[in-house]
């Protein structure tokens, strides 16, 4: 890394006007996440061409992939909030300690998922369904995704390091390159185009992990050559700081729990839907991919917003904190409103992307038009939840995330199934869950703001 004397005196997160700063930090990540979400949709589109059972197998794998992502992204959130605070306080050693400890933690995660990938995947599928094509294909898919997980963990970590230091464009470049790699190699490896072998559902998994590795290598390279705010050290990686790990987890655990609960929620909802048909689980898997695509602007906004909030919280510039949240909410609500209208108008076109059968289409049109009502509620929850984490009110964010990520969706699907036993009415559970969580998020955000204003008045 570069010499200390070459570093600027203050990071742009404390000096640049709020709206241009937020746009410069968030828009690159929003574009990057859009490309990533596009890959997820393209992946399912190609898998659907194999068979509807192959699509169901990938849909059933999604909760397990969410667990892996929950750990990686939660650690990244801890990094992206902690490093800017250290930079704001001119604590260079602390910033380096946080970064290198994150590398060690990702090494531990990789070891755990290698073991799971080698031992647990077949059992996971066998306890859900007896359809041989789903069990065999799903086992191949999830085994590869789990045993070659290091690309995902380190890709997220190095991208968060870039974003937290003010290099959002470089983070976008790394993530986008990985997603484009996936999109290109998906059909080549699934269908055996040109010199590539025909691997079917295993090819989809291999394209995924190779794209993640490519993105991780690029992000590491950008940190090593461009990011002057942190320094990598083999000594610090091999001897991590447990105090730094504690800070990372204090901030990141709510995100881990959120995504972990979402994984459990998807698993239990799939069990409810399997009582109707495997087609219902395929529809739910399609909705999760479409929902993920719609929420990518909010996730990208979070990636740009959290370092700004954390930095200015560290310097007690609360006018910049509240202004950042207001701008973020305005932008995301506007985008979600547009997406809601578009999805309501073209559900048939969206389902055609997944080679929908008549049975899937009959369920899917109602599902898309009902579930899309939730987007604006969910957008508010995502933005306010991340603001609460960045501003050291993680318990508030955790309460919203537990409500939205598990209690409300699982409870609503179960209750509607018991009351109506009609697959077309079950989809009301999605906007109902997000609506209740949105109300809770607004109330808790207002309480957090009151608490911080009181602290500022006392200081």
Give the pLDDT of residue 311: 85
Give the pLDDT of residue 84: 84
The whole-chain average pLDDT of the chain stands at 89
Across the range 102-127, mean pLDDT stands at 94
Report the length, in residues, of the chain.
Answer: 459
Residue 7 pLDDT grade (very low, low, confident, very high; cuts 50, 70, 90):
very low
Residue 370 pLDDT grade (very low, low, confident, very high; cuts 50, 70, 90):
very high
> pLDDT tens-digit profile of 285-313?
899 989 988 998 888 898 788 888 888 88
Instruction: Please say if the pLDDT value at position 11 is more than 70.
Output: no
> pLDDT tens-digit profile of 204-261?
999 999 999 999 999 999 999 998 888 898 888 988 999 999 999 988 887 787 778 8
Quote the CA–CA distance of 288 and 201 in Å, as a whole number. Answer: 19
Answering whether pTM is above 0.85, one says: no
Taking a C-beta distance cutoff of 8 angstroms, is the pair 47, 204 a contact? yes
């Amino acid at each position: 890394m570069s010499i200390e004397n070459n570093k600027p005196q203050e990071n742009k997160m404390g000096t640049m006007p709020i709206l241009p700063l937020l746009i410069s930090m968030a828009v690159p990540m929003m574009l990057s996440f859009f490309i990533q979400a596009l890959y997820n949709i393209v992946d399912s589109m190609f898998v659907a061409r194999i068979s509807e059972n192959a699509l169901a197998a990938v849909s059933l794998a999604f909760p397990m992939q969410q667990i892996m992502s929950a750990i990686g992204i939660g650690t990244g959130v801890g990094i992206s909030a902690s490093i800017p605070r250290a930079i704001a306080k001119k604590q260079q050693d602390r910033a380096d300690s946080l970064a290198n400890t994150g590398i060690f933690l990702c090494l531990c995660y990789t070891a755990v998922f290698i073991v799971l990938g080698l031992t647990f995947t077949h059992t996971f599928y066998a306890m859900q369904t007896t359809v041989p094509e789903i069990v065999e294909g799903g086992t191949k898919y999830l085994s590869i995704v789990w045993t070659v997980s290091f690309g995902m963990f380190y890709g997220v970590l190095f991208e968060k390091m870039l974003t937290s230091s003010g290099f959002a464009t470089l983070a976008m470049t790394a993530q986008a390159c990985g997603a484009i790699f996936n999109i290109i190699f998906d059909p080549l490896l699934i269908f055996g185009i040109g010199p590539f072998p025909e691997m079917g559902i295993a090819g989809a998994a291999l394209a995924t992990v190779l794209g993640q590795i490519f993105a991780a290598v690029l992000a590491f390279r950008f940190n090593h050559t461009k990011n002057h705010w942190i320094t990598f050290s083999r000594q610090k990686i091999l001897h991590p700081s447990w105090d730094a790990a504690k800070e990372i987890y204090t901030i990141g655990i709510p995100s881990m729990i959120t995504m972990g609960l979402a994984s459990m929620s998807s698993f239990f909802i799939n069990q409810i839907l399997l009582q109707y048909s495997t087609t219902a689980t395929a529809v739910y898997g399609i909705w999760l991919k479409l929902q993920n695509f719609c929420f990518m602007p909010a996730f990208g906004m979070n990636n740009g917003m959290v370092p700004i909030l954390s930095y200015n919280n560290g310097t007690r510039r609360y006018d910049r904190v509240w202004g950042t949240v207001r701008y973020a909410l305005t932008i995301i609500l506007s985008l979600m409103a547009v997406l809601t209208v578009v999805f309501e108008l073209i559900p048939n076109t969206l389902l055609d992307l997944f080679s929908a059968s008549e049975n899937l289409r009959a369920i899917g049109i109602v599902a898309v038009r009902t579930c899309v009502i939730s987007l604006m509620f969910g957008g508010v929850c995502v933005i306010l939840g991340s603001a609460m984490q960045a501003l050291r009110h993680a318990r508030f964010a955790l309460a919203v995330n537990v409500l939205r990520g598990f209690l409300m969706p699982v409870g609503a699907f179960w209750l509607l199934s018991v009351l109506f036993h009609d697959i077309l009415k079950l989809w009301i559970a999605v906007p109902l869950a997000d609506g209740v969580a949105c109300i809770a998020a607004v109330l808790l955000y207002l309480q957090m703001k009151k608490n911080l204003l009181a602290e500022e008045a006392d200081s």
